């Protein structure tokens, strides 16, 4: 808790406090990056965000120390956001946020990402999506096999274009926020291993 300026000596005798919520306002990506730094610093796992491959076309050099990229293109479609190693196992996952409260729209993922997860699963990797329902302040680890199942069904006659919240509540693993690491998603991964 943080004290208000009125808590300083000479202020009113009634103490008012502001509750701070660590991580609020951060994007899911920032929260995961901070958690990954904790895991790395404590020799728990080596997991990094993959850089997006770009082709730089035009650069201006107003000063040698201040190059400015003026034009660039994506070299190829990226796969998932994160990969690394944990307990001798390859981990590969993507992080997504939605403001929806009753469902997760499948169009947050792309075909090449789902195909990549499918390939990683075939090789024995641990793959999943970390899905944050921003409005509900809820985070879930959804196994790639469950995501792929819904992905494959979406274009069938009775297929859905989203995954209902009830599926997350029943089949996904809830991931809680805490102090260190901020997102303890590897605790949820332990349930998959």
Cα separation of 136 and 99, whole Å?
8
| Predicted local distance difference test score (pLDDT) of residue 44 | 97
- Domain segments of the chain: what residues? 13-51+77-192
Flag whether 27 is marked binding: no
Flag whether 190 is marked binding: no
Distances (CA, A) of 151 to 66, 145, 147: 44, 10, 6
Question: Are residues 4 and 16 in contact, defined by beta-carbon separation less than 8 angstroms?
Answer: yes
Both structure tokens of 144: 């790639």
| Predicted local distance difference test score (pLDDT) of residue 122 | 97
| Predicted local distance difference test score (pLDDT) of residue 26 | 62
CATH topology (fold) of 13-51+77-192: Trna Endonuclease; Chain: A, domain 1 (3.40.1350)
| Predicted local distance difference test score (pLDDT) of residue 4 | 39
Question: Are residues 129 and 113 in contact, defined by beta-carbon separation less than 8 angstroms?
Answer: no
Cα 21 versus chain centre, distance: 19
Flag whether 146 is marked binding: no
Q: pLDDT (tens digit, 9 = 90+) per residue, 126-172?
A: 999 999 999 999 999 999 999 999 999 998 888 899 999 999 999 99
Q: Which residues of the chain fall below pLDDT 70?
A: 1-26, 52-55, 64, 73-77
Flag whether 60 is marked binding: no
| Predicted local distance difference test score (pLDDT) of residue 75 | 63
Distances (CA, A) of 153 to 57, 101, 113, 146, 164: 40, 22, 16, 11, 13
Q: Against a cut of 0.85, is the pTM above it?
A: no
């Amino acid at each position: 808790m943080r004290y208000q300026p009125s808590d300083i000596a000479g202020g009113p005798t009634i103490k008012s406090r502001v509750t701070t919520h660590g991580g609020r306002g951060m994007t899911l990506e920032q929260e995961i990056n901070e958690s990954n730094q904790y895991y790395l610093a404590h020799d728990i796992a080596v997991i990094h965000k993959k850089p997006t491959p770009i082709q730089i076309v035009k650069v201006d050099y107003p000063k040698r120390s201040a190059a400015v990229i003026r034009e660039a293109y994506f070299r190829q479609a990226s796969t998932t956001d994160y990969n690394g190693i944990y307990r001798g196992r390859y981990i590969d996952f993507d992080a997504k946020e939605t403001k929806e409260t009753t469902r997760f729209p499948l169009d947050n993922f792309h075909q090449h990402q789902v195909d990549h997860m499918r390939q990683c699963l075939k090789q024995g990797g641990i793959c999943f999506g970390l899905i944050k329902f921003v409005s509900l302040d809820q985070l879930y680890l959804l196994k790639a096999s469950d995501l792929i199942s819904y992905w494959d069904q979406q274009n069938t006659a009775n297929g859905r274009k989203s995954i209902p919240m009830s599926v997350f509540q029943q089949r996904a693993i809830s991931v809680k926020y805490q102090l260190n690491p901020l997102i303890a998603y590897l605790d949820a991964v332990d349930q998959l291993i």
